[in-house]
Amino acid sequence: MSIPRMNYQQYRKARKLTHECCNYCDGNCLLLDDGEECVCVQSISYSLLCRWFRAAVLPLDAALCAEISKSRDEVKRCVECGAVFTPKSNRAKYCPDCAARVRRKKEAERQRQKYWQLSGK
């Protein structure tokens, strides 16, 4: 498995996430601490080197996780807002936030059409 690399914007987002890691303390990694302090590798690298970060911390930001760790075929862009998301099926067009909004809008239009058809006869 190749190690995913991030661009600058992704790195900045991931850098903010490193502070959410339970093993991060004052810029150091508690897992790598063997008596002397060791700098958190994820906070200084453009690569996803830390397995704990990849497994537990990165999923906190679903969009960033989708951008970095998934292959191009596994990620889609929302038709409505353009956000990157991981689809739950091959037919997904919208991110979860927009999907609910679009569904409500289409249902309202369907009900409106139904009302006019019933009242017109």
Per-residue pLDDT of the chain (121 residues; tens, 9 = 90+): 577 788 898 889 888 888 888 888 888 888 887 778 888 888 888 888 888 888 888 888 888 887 887 665 678 899 999 988 888 888 999 999 999 999 999 999 999 999 999 887 5
Host H or E run for residue 77: strand 76-77
Contact 69, 58 (CB under 8 A): yes
Domain positions in the chain: 1-60, 70-121
Contact 48, 65 (CB under 8 A): no
Predicted TM-score (pTM) of the model is 0.57
pLDDT of residue 76: 87
CA dihedral 92, 98, 99, 105 (to 10 degrees): -130
